[in-house]
Amino acid sequence: MTHPSPSSTVQAALKVAEAHRLILDSLSPITGSEHVEVHAALGRVLAQDVIAPLDVPMHDNSAMDGYAVRASDLAADAETALAVIGNAFAGRPFAGRPGPGEAVRIMTGAVIPDGADTVVMQEAVRREGDTVFIPAGQQQGRNLRRAGEDLAAGSVALPAGKRCGPAELGLIASLGIGEVVVRRRLRVAFFSTGDELTPIGQPLAPGAIHDSNRYTLSGALSRLGCELLDMGIVPDRPAALEAAFAEAAEAADVVITSGGVSVGDADFVRELMSRMGEVSFWKLAIKPGRPLAFGRIGNAVLFGLPGNPVATLVSFYQFVQDALLAMMGVTPLPPAGRFAARAAFALRKPADRVEYLRGRMLRDGTGLGVTLAGTQGSGVLRSMSEADCFIVLPEDCTSVQAGDTVFIQPFHGLV
Ligand code: AMP
Ligand code: MG
């Protein structure tokens, strides 16, 4: 095992925008798909367009409880009396056809009877026995939902590349479709590296700590709908790491490790990654998370995340998540929302790196503010739990004063 050569240790830290481009440019979606039942499509990525087999809605129907009438019967500037000849309920259409001077009592969702072309809402009319009085001023075609207005038969209801959420499940069901074709799950192998790491349930030797990164990573990966291969803890021994990398790269589409990517004497991960595969970059101009290795072994994409628990999560959300979504075949969305917020804190920072602080949004009636969530050390995992947003300070920012505008990324929707 060779240690990083001085020249490689001084490799310039890559800028965030370049890293995003480099990562996304080098990835392509996995192939392979499967049929799943509608419920099971939640979180899955459509592998084919879903085509509407029918018009939704199938018939012109009423958007209101009221009366279906023929607009041509109605006087322009006086009340019109119409004979009510029957009822139309959702799922129970009126079988007849209103003629001149006739109306049908109709409920929301009921098919508009042949001959009628307008619904007058019931709050607007007066009813006496079998006669309904319609006030002047009705507009032809009001309060109707037209056949095919939601979706026309033969049109793309949902495009391939769409990740299904609750609305998509409902839309698929509304078409009477019971099964959809989705991409197979992305297989992600992950392990923690470090001689100090101790599994839960074992006593801690002096200087040892419990492995938390595998739990944060398994949570984040499960939410994305990945298939997880948890490979446990691997000690800081090149032979053990090499075997783990070989096994992971064989079994998975993506390998994610934490720890061992800096330049310490026990940091073998990057070295091994470049010996067994290739490393595109391993140093980013960010905090936390400066050492972040990205590359490939065989067919697997590799992310070597820094070991500090906050750095692990920050680099996952800022760099890995979008990469995994792209590999899952998700059509890229516009970049995650960034919102301007008023800083309720002050700090100084060096230029030339992006900082991802953990923040808490403040809503005090005068707009959106943000304060720091607890201690910002990259080992203080509690700051992630107490936070509800990242505060993203760009490269050129060197200080923040209270009252300055900063940009935040709310966790909601992001994590
Ligand atoms: P490393 O990136 O290996 O230099 O680790 C940086 C810091 O993160 C050290 O304090 C490690 O003990 C800690 N660390 C590394 N891996 C983990 C892990 N899986 N769980 C919790 N802490 C970790
Ligand atoms: Mg380590």
**Confidence at residue 414, expressed as pLDDT on a 0 to 100 scale:** 57
**Beta-carbon neighbours within 5 Å of ion ligand 2:** 194, 259-260, 307
Residue that terminates a domain, selected from 96, 126, 145? 145
Report the distance separating Cα 160 and Cα 180, nearest Å: 11
Whether residue 291 is found in the same domain as residue 171:
no
Q: Is residue 100 part of a domain?
A: yes
CATH of the domain at 164: 3.90.105.10
Q: Is residue 225 part of a domain?
A: yes
Residue that terminates a domain, selected from 183, 205, 233? 183
Which residue's CA is the closest to the ligand 1 atom numbered 3? 259
Whether residue 49 is found in the same domain as residue 176:
yes
Whether 277 has a pLDDT exceeding 50, the answer reads yes
Which residue's CA is the closest to the ligand 1 atom numbered 17? 307
Whether residue 193 is found in the same domain as residue 276:
yes
Whether residue 174 is found in the same domain as residue 266:
no
**Confidence at residue 3, expressed as pLDDT on a 0 to 100 scale:** 43
Residue-wise pLDDT for 280-295, tens only, equals 988 999 999 889 999 9
**Which residues fall within 8 angstroms of residue 97, CB to CB, at 6 or more apart?**
113, 114, 115
Strands 126-128 and 131-134: antiparallel
257 lines ligand 1 (CB under 6 A): no
Which residue's CA is the closest to the ligand 1 atom numbered 5? 307
Whether 10 has a pLDDT exceeding 70, the answer reads no
> What is the extent of the structural domain holding 209?
6-32+185-328
Q: Is residue 125 part of a domain?
A: yes
**Strand, coil or helix: 226:** coil
Residue 275 parent element (H or E): helix 269-276
Q: Is residue 321 part of a domain?
A: yes
Whether residue 286 is found in the same domain as residue 397:
no
Q: Is residue 415 part of a domain?
A: no
**Å from CA of 218 to ligand 1 middle:** 16
212 lines ligand 1 (CB under 6 A): yes
Sign of torsion over alpha carbons 257, 260, 262, 263 = negative
Q: Is residue 1 part of a domain?
A: no
289 lines ligand 1 (CB under 6 A): no
User: What percent of the chain has pLDDT above 70?
Assistant: 96
Query: Tokens 């595998």 sit at which residue?
Result: 214
**Confidence at residue 7, expressed as pLDDT on a 0 to 100 scale:** 40
Whether residue 241 is found in the same domain as residue 308:
yes
Q: Which of 174-188, 352-366, 378-392 has the highest mean pLDDT?
A: 174-188
pLDDT band at 379 (very low <50, low <70, confident <90, very high): confident
Residue-wise pLDDT for 29-74, tens only, equals 999 999 999 999 999 999 999 999 999 999 999 999 999 999 999 9
**Å from CA of 269 to ligand 2 middle:** 9
CA atoms within 13 A on the CB side of 350: 5
Q: Is residue 334 part of a domain?
A: no
Mean pLDDT for all residues in the chain: 93
Total number of domains constituting the chain: 4
**Confidence at residue 268, expressed as pLDDT on a 0 to 100 scale:** 92
Q: Is residue 305 part of a domain?
A: yes
Whether residue 259 is found in the same domain as residue 379:
no
**Å from CA of 307 to ligand 1 middle:** 4
Average pLDDT over every residue of 242-248 = 98
pLDDT band at 112 (very low <50, low <70, confident <90, very high): very high
Give the DSSP letter string of 115-139. T--EEEEGGG-EEETTEEEEPS-PP
Whether 21 has a pLDDT exceeding 50, the answer reads yes
Whether residue 399 is found in the same domain as residue 345:
yes
**Å from CA of 194 to ligand 1 middle:** 7
Whether residue 191 is found in the same domain as residue 310:
yes
**Å from CA of 310 to ligand 1 middle:** 10
**Å from CA of 197 to ligand 2 middle:** 9
Q: Which of 191, 209, 269 to mutate to test the pocket of ligand 1 (most atoms within 8 A of CB)?
A: 209
**For residue 196, which atom of ligand 1 is closest to its CA?**
12
Whether residue 177 is found in the same domain as residue 189:
no
Residue that terminates a domain, selected from 328, 353, 379? 328
CATH of the domain at 400: 2.40.340.10
**Confidence at residue 154, expressed as pLDDT on a 0 to 100 scale:** 96
CATH of the domain at 128: 2.170.190.11
Whether 1 has a pLDDT exceeding 80, the answer reads no
**For residue 308, which atom of ligand 1 is closest to its CA?**
8
Whether residue 10 is found in the same domain as residue 121:
no
Residue-wise pLDDT for 310-328, tens only, equals 999 999 999 999 999 999 9
Strand boundaries in 186-253, DSSP class E: 187-193, 197-198, 209-210, 227-234
Which residue's CA is the closest to the ligand 1 atom numbered 23? 307
CATH of the domain at 204: 3.40.980.10
Whether residue 286 is found in the same domain as residue 402:
no
Burial profile 168-181: b = 16 or more Cβ within 10 angstroms, e = fewer: bbebbeebebeebb
**Confidence at residue 206, expressed as pLDDT on a 0 to 100 scale:** 97
Residues 74, 77, 78, 80: what is their CA dihedral angle, to the nearest 10 degrees? 10
Which residue's CA is the closest to the ligand 1 atom numbered 8? 308
Average pLDDT over every residue of 350-376 = 93
